Amino acid sequence: MSAFLFTILASALGALVVGAILKRRGRGLRGGMALGAIAGLLGSLATMIPLQYCVLDPEHHMFFKISVLGGTITVNAVALLGILLVIVVAWAFALAIDRLRHHWRARSGTVWQADTAPGTFVGYDFSPWIFLAPTLVGLVVFTYYPAAQNFFLGTQIARRGVAKTAFNCLDNFASLIASRLQDAHYYILSDGFVWHAENARYLAVFGNSLFFSVFIVIVANVLGLSIALLASQKIRGASVYRTLMIWPYAISGVVVGIVFAILLGGGGSGFMNQVLRLFGAEPVPFLSDPWWARASVVAAAAWNKLGFNVLIYIAALQAVPLELMEAAAIDGANAWKRFLNVTIPMISPYIFFVVFLNLNYSFFDLYAVIDNLTEGGPVNATTNLVVDIIRVGVESRDIGKAAAQSIVLFMVVVGLTYVQFRVMGRRVTYGAD
């Protein structure tokens, strides 16, 4: 009965929201309401039937508390996640239906266009599929199937090494931020920040990932561009300098982690601290203080990526036409203004390219560096999303929860890719040839 009510409610809400949005965009209210109702219906059915309407079941409920503006709210995390899931899927349905409708209207009367590419081999109907088969099979079996399996495993109680699983609703997801005990997860909202008060480990892990990516991108790009500016000038031995600076890119994360471990580790008798002592400075707890440990990971990772950034930026700077610089110089722009108003816009496609590569690297490829430099410590201070997935899934053997975390990580990829396409599409193409 409550399942029926849930579906009707989703449909009605969809009709209201989409109807209102389309009306404001100057399209028909009735069409919008119909679209919203269908999307809400499909969205709730597509998510809740596989989940067996378990989010309505009190047995699966989990809670966290938020303290905001003096008051305290208790939130049911499973219900919240269920509602968010329905909204996202229904939204996707609405967009897809709308798109399809336009598509059909535009295409009505036209035949599917035949592919008349010149130079194709005629009379081989089967060969392309044989050529493609290994790649397609490989991607289906080792990329798409595990990705889909994640969505299944995320809703299961699954242990490493055990083939059998049992349905667990959205508890694996909810347990990342909530608990069955009402007071275990307690968040304080103040000045626009969420401070975790108790037992909110996953939020801290997520924060570590964000911290690493932001600072690795800043350090590796500011230094990379500065060095490239120096090395791209037409000076004697420029290519020698370039070669002497780009090679750390080829070094593995493991070696980076181990080498920085001997540079920064070893407590007061470690290399860096002995050097600091020569200058009369106090020893720094590089790997044992949470913030210094995070900074150490950033330093190691930025050092690893710096060479690549320098290489790309040198190529970018050499592609800036000299006539533009000349014109700016004639107009009286000094070096700094020329850099800001000519160089930066001209190389902006490369900047975005490098920034997104660095972002991807710092979100997904830091495992080897962290594992060999800090092992995620002290006390999870340098544990990021990937390290935590391995912790939970391999070391604690909780495959279900690790799969749920993998899906969160996948959402990060989707978000990054979306932003990348928007930014690349809008701002950057004019500089690319």
Partner 1 sequence: MTALTRRRAVDRPPLVHLLRELVTANRWYIHVLLWIAVIFMGFPLFYAALVSTQNNAQMFRLQMIPGDSFSFNLQTVLDRNIARLMFNTFAVATMITLGKVVLSIFSGMALVYFRFPAKSLVFGFILAALMVPGEVTIIALFRLVALELGWGNTWTALVVPAVASPTGVFLFRQHFASITPELSEAAQLDGAGPLQFLLRVLVPLSRNTITALVVIMFIGGWNSYLWPLLIVTNPDLQVIQVGLSTLDDGVEIGRTWGPIMLGAVIASIPPIAIFVLMQKQFLQGFALTRSK
Q: Which is nearer to partner 1, 327 or 379 (CB)?
A: 327
Residue in the structure block whose two tokens are 């930025």: 302
> Do 245 and 313 form a contact (C-beta atoms < 8 A)?
no
Cα dihedral 139, 145, 151, 153 in deg (nearest 10): -130
Burial 352-390 (b: 16+ CB within 10 A, else e): bbbbbbbbbbbbbebbbbbbbbbebeeebbbbbbbbbbb
> Within 10 A of 270 (CB to CB), how many other CB atoms are there?
19
Q: Which is nearer to partner 1, 168 or 406 (CB)?
A: 406
Report in angstroms how near the CB of residue 93 gets to partner 1 at its nearest.
19
Cα dihedral 51, 55, 59, 64 in deg (nearest 10): 130
194 dihedral zone (left: phi>0; alpha: psi -120 to 50; beta): beta
Q: Which is nearer to partner 1, 86 or 386 (CB)?
A: 386
Burial 300-326 (b: 16+ CB within 10 A, else e): bbbbbbbbbbbbbbbebbeebeeeebe
With CA atoms as reference, report the closest residue to 44 among 15, 85, 97, 79: 85
Q: Which is nearer to partner 1, 4 or 121 (CB)?
A: 121
Q: Which is nearer to partner 1, 75 or 255 (CB)?
A: 255
> What phi, psi does 205 have (nearest 5°)?
-60, -45
Q: Which is nearer to partner 1, 144 or 167 (CB)?
A: 144
State the Rg of the chain over Cα: 27
Q: Which is nearer to partner 1, 71 or 110 (CB)?
A: 110
Quote the tokens at residue 239.
């290519």
> Do 14 and 33 form a contact (C-beta atoms < 8 A)?
no
